[in-house]
Structure 1
Amino acid sequence: MKLLLTIHRARLGPTEFKVIRPARPPARAALSEGNWYLHAQVDQEAAQLIAGLWSLAGTSPRSLVHVPLRRTDPETGEPGLDLVLLHHSLQFAPSRWKELRARLGPGLRQTARLPGPAPRDLSADPWPQRHHKENRDRFHQHLRAGTLFLTGSARVFADTAWLFADVAHRAPGYVVAHPDHQHYCTRMGHGDNSFAAGSGLHVVYRDRWPES
């Protein structure tokens, strides 16, 4: 998978931070809060892009991966959220994001190549250890400045990138084959121990979007 990125660097006090953004933010994607889940709505192109950025976050422990998604939910009208993915070893405080974001310049273009995440075999549990209470490879989530922060280990990022990859690979064919039931989604959280606390994440495929 080839990702076109913009790399930003900015300092907060003595510390320099690296922020990675897609060079072209997803045009048809939205993220918003719900009662039980955080809701992401994506078309195929956005799902592929976010799956790649999700994998990149797990292999870039010194960077924050910022995915601009803030747009009004096309179904509910709820205000949208941006997304920041980061490795827990960075120990970045989400409360400092607004200050860091204001210091980011235009950045430098860069191309990254990485293997695309494969869709998960839904008939098997690829990571039975996650159900153990001792498991520490879980996401922590925070909401700050209109942004959802998901902080986790390399393993949890690698093991959950299927969430968006599955939608990209399977959803377009599914909605064509099932005209009477075109809803296709994936989810994690609420019982699978992938989140330490908070809402789960529900990813829904949308092939039709209102014109901006």
Structure 2
Amino acid sequence: MLNTDQFEWLSFDCYGTLVDWESGICDAVSNVLNRHGVHRSTRKILAMFSEIEPKVQARPGYLRYRDVLHEVMQSIAAELNLAFSDDELGSLAESLPNWPIFPDVAGALQTLKERYKLAVISNVDDDLFASTAKALNVDFDLVVTAQQVQSYKPDLRNFNVASAHMKVDKQNWLHVAESLYHDISPANQLGIKSVWVNRPNRGGGTRPTDAVPDVVVPDLAALTEILCRH
């Protein structure tokens, strides 16, 4: 169990943890596929995404996340032997600001903000997160994006940059995320305590890994109950 009194900072992954990125991804990709008379299940779309996205992010040289999503759509088109228009190739990135916030998130963040400093460490561009931040409706004490660091989680640089800004001992930092691959694994490597938000019927958008969180919760409401019950 966690010693909840030891933490000063809570950092969060955004897309997948605070934002229902699986619904956002599947809706955007399905809309394009349907125009071409092609239908794929949610599971298949997420399987393609989870295979393609990290490969694009791992290529030499940094790409903005908007461009990563463009490349993802190109790869999906190639895999399905389709030809997407320029608008269709850009549609996944354009949809991101409208991806839905999980219903438990806003209230949980407001409650946690009363006790902890809050950070976001996200694999996204500054302008894309700015649109999402309006919907989250909480003032984060720190936002670290992939664009700022010029790398993508699970690269340790993203966490090291956050640490440099927080100026906090690792024992006083708790990282909260949905992705074992992008977040819990690097937290393990760095000795940062972590919470895996294992939402029901979710998790198909990221690669599997053997990372081990300190605590598992089904949503942020459950996390808030643990951290704020004293």
| Shorter-normalised TM range | under 0.3
* Greater fraction of residues in strand: 1
* Greater fraction of residues in helix: 2
Structure 1 length-normalised TM: 0.23
Structure 2 length-normalised TM: 0.22
